[in-house]
Amino acid sequence: MKTTYNPNAKRIRHGLKHTRFYNIFCMMTSRCRGKMAKKDYFDRGIEILWKDILEFKHDMYESYLEHVNLHGEKNTQIDRINNNGSYSKENCRWVTVKENCNNRRSNVIITRDGETKTLKQWAELISPISYKQVWHRINKLGWSTERALTLSKTNKAYTKIYG
């Protein structure tokens, strides 16, 4: 009996091909296995521990739908809790765009009064001026974090510097 090649025989049927959830899985895969993955992912030992989209769906789809219902599809992203860890059920969660931005390696982390936040979070929480201005004060003017976060535009010291 002659066997014929069936190109569809090995395809996974999951019904997600044109969904944002499927796109998130594909982007995750390309970050870890694509041409540009070496420095940011492969060299750091970061990999995807799900063998395929079906395993990913089994572990993450229900929580994805819950997050989408609360925050919307465009505001739902996957995030690794430990930035140096692999993509797995234990190390991944769904977050908003803003939350995901606060979990980047490039963020400036500041501990103040025993509480740790990113510079942007501190600026939004306590600063009388914008995050951009606080960043400029620390990185361009060499001010201390405390001074940069608390000195307002109306302060005499600020006026001497900026006129």
Q: Which range, 24-28, 119-123, 134-138, has the best average confidence (pLDDT)?
A: 24-28
Q: How confident is the model at residue 159 (pLDDT cuts 50, 70, 90)?
A: very low
- Count the residues in the chain: 163
pLDDT digits (tens, 9 = 90+) for 68-108: 999 999 999 999 999 889 999 999 999 999 888 888 878 88
Q: How confident is the model at residue 31 (pLDDT cuts 50, 70, 90)?
A: confident
Between 151 and 160, the higher pLDDT residue: 151
pLDDT digits (tens, 9 = 90+) for 133-155: 888 888 899 988 888 887 776 55
Residues 6+ apart with CB under 8 A from 59: 50, 89
List the chain domain ranges: 20-101, 109-162
Measured distance CA(101)–CA(99) in Å, rounded: 5
Which pLDDT value is given to residue 163? 39
Is the per-residue pLDDT at 26 higher than 70? yes
pLDDT above 70 covers what percent of the chain? 82
Residues 6+ apart with CB under 8 A from 122: 110, 112, 134, 145, 149
